[in-house]
Amino acid sequence: MQNLPTAAVQKAFLRAAQPIAIIGAVGGFISDIIQPLGDFALWIAVLSLVVAIGSFIWIVQLRRRAGEEVWDTVAAGIFVVAVGSFVVFSIWTIVFSAGPERGYLATNVPAVGDLQAQLLGLQKDVTEIKETTTTTATRVAESSDLQKAQATAQAQGFADIQKQFAQLQAGQGTLITNPQTPQEWYSNARLYQLKGDTANAIKAYEGYFQFNLDYVDPYLEYSDLLKASEGIVRAREKMDAYYNANKNSATLDLAAARLLDDANARIARYVAITQRAPQFGPAFYELGAEYTRALGASKTADLLTKQGDAYTKLFQLEKDTQGYTRFFIDKSLAEKNLAEAQKIFDSLVQARNVTGTATIYVYQYNDGMQFIVALAEAGIKKILFDIDNPKPTRETGMNAAGFPNPTIGKIPLPVGKHTLYVQYIDANDVPSQIFEKEFDVRQVYATWNQQPLDFSTNLYPGTFAIGVTGATFEQFFKYKWSIDSDALDNEMLGAAMGGIEVKGLKAGDHVLYLQAIAQDGSKTYEVEKIPFTVK
């Protein structure tokens, strides 16, 4: 670019002078008006410089091909305008940086100031906006620090807080004047507790809570302090506020649920927590504890089963993933709770295996079937039964002592196989499972009644209550019978309901072969094979 044609260059700059002046004036006015939004003059100057460099490279390429005529091209025009714009807006940048924050025009001309406010929505002073921006930036920085602290605490497995708690337990902890980390806040809270300074302990716990960690025991300690110092209503308000601010937290849900007045409401809440957070051991612990308290009032099979299920799940979670202790800072407290739960669980194993069972005894008579239901549970409100209907609805009624009657019948039934269905309503109005007992209604029947061992022979005697279904008490029959063979080599004359005495039976399973013949010989009934057991 040596020996530039002076006349051509001057001509190019003269052509560009007018557009440069217009751009500079209009651009300066606009930049002055929108100055509160940023230094646009500087950005235009930088853009102009980039365009100037690009167009200059274009000119060099044209010069190599077109000789001395490049200054009459579009590239030359763009270059000159870009250089001029760069110079003008560089000057505007210096002028605006030294001027008022809202710009010269808006500051000195009220009409222009109003226009600026309407266009940009600058209803507040720029100084106030900057103050707000500074405050926001500070809050963002604080939030960032808080998030970093949370992430660090979780990533390190909270080893520091465990170490600091161990120091507290050893009596080596000291109050920290300006706590910044969750470890420091928690340490202060426990130290204030030890000193009996409840107010500061509460404040320290609240400082710890800002880190949103899911350890259970700080919230339990905090709610206990609030209950003791400010009452349960205030404690409930504060814990509900924490939970409402973080509905995803099972820890906060649990802590709030513990403050509910009604035991059934607490149980329902704990059950809901276990369903949405099945790996959260503390909910199963609290649920088991609620069932244990309920068992103190009524030891029902339903409560025993539910308590056993809750504790079994708790123990399994702890075994598999430390699903209880890992939610506690105070590991010794968590282990103590688990040990007490295990002790309670073990103490009720026998009750759990027995309570809620049913033994049903069946007796056949010539005029109907009778059943006696033996239930291993106290406080039962009613017994329901039905025959051949798996949904029992018939009540047995109440006996003279005011308890549900355990005896059902006599009920006449057709000969054949049948099933008795029994259900009871426990002390808490909870229906039991439905128990079933299959039985046969025989045309000729016998019921075995074992007697004590004869030590002289080391064999067992016993009796059979025998009869014919549907026969009247005035009718008599010839009964033919034998044991463990179909010989029917024994016979006797008896009424529609009589008895047979036998001796010399060994322990084990046996079969009675029994036939009845009407006394007048008018009817012979088929031989019944009736199994029985000598124990």
**The residue type at 509:** D
- Residue 71 Cα to chain centre, angstroms: 79
Mean pLDDT of all residues in the chain?
A: 84
In the predicted model, is pLDDT for residue 386 greater than 90? yes
Contact 91, 84 (CB under 8 A): no
What are the tens digits of pLDDT across the range 99-128?
Answer: 665 565 656 666 655 555 555 544 444 444
In the predicted model, is pLDDT for residue 96 greater than 70? no
How confident is the model at residue 265, as a pLDDT? 97
What are the tens digits of pLDDT across the range 318-346?
Answer: 999 999 999 999 999 999 999 999 999 99
What are the tens digits of pLDDT across the range 158-210?
Answer: 555 556 556 655 555 688 899 999 989 998 999 999 889 999 999 999 999 99
Handedness of CA 286, 289, 295, 297 (dihedral sign): negative
How confident is the model at residue 366, as a pLDDT? 93
How confident is the model at residue 55, as a pLDDT? 74
* Residue 48 vs residues 78, 165, 534: alpha-carbon distances, Å: 10, 64, 113
How confident is the model at residue 38, as a pLDDT? 55
Q: Which of 217, 225, 173, 223 is nearest to 196 (CA)?
A: 225
* Residue 238 vs residues 222, 231, 243, 249, 257: alpha-carbon distances, Å: 10, 11, 9, 15, 12
In the predicted model, is pLDDT for residue 349 greater than 80? yes
In this structure, what are the phi and psi dihedrals at residue 293, rounded to the nearest 5 degrees? Answer: -65, -40
Contact partners, residue 238, CB within 8 Å, separation at least 6? 223, 226
Q: What 3-state class would DSSP assign to 197?
A: coil
- Segment 25-48 shows an average pLDDT of 65
Burial of 189 (0-12, 13-18, 19+ CB in 10 A): buried
- Give the pair of three-digit tokens for residue 401: 């002592």
Which pLDDT band, with edges at 50, 70 and 90, does 50 fall under? confident
Higher pLDDT, 70 or 424: 424
Contact 509, 425 (CB under 8 A): no
Q: Highest mean pLDDT range out of 46-55, 379-388, 492-501?
A: 379-388
**Global pTM?**
0.62
- All structural domains of the chain: 6-120 (no CATH), 214-351 (1.25.40.10), 357-440 (2.60.40.10), 444-534 (2.60.40.10)
In this structure, what are the phi and psi dihedrals at residue 174, rounded to the nearest 5 degrees? Answer: -135, 150
Residues in the chain, total:
535
In the predicted model, is pLDDT for residue 138 greater than 70? no
Which pLDDT band, with edges at 50, 70 and 90, does 136 fall under? very low
In the predicted model, is pLDDT for residue 367 greater than 50? yes
What are the tens digits of pLDDT across the range 277-304?
Answer: 999 999 999 999 999 999 998 999 999 9
Q: Which of 514, 124, 324, 315 is nearest to 116 (CA)?
A: 124
Q: At what angle do helices 74-98 and 6-33 cross, to 10 degrees?
A: 40
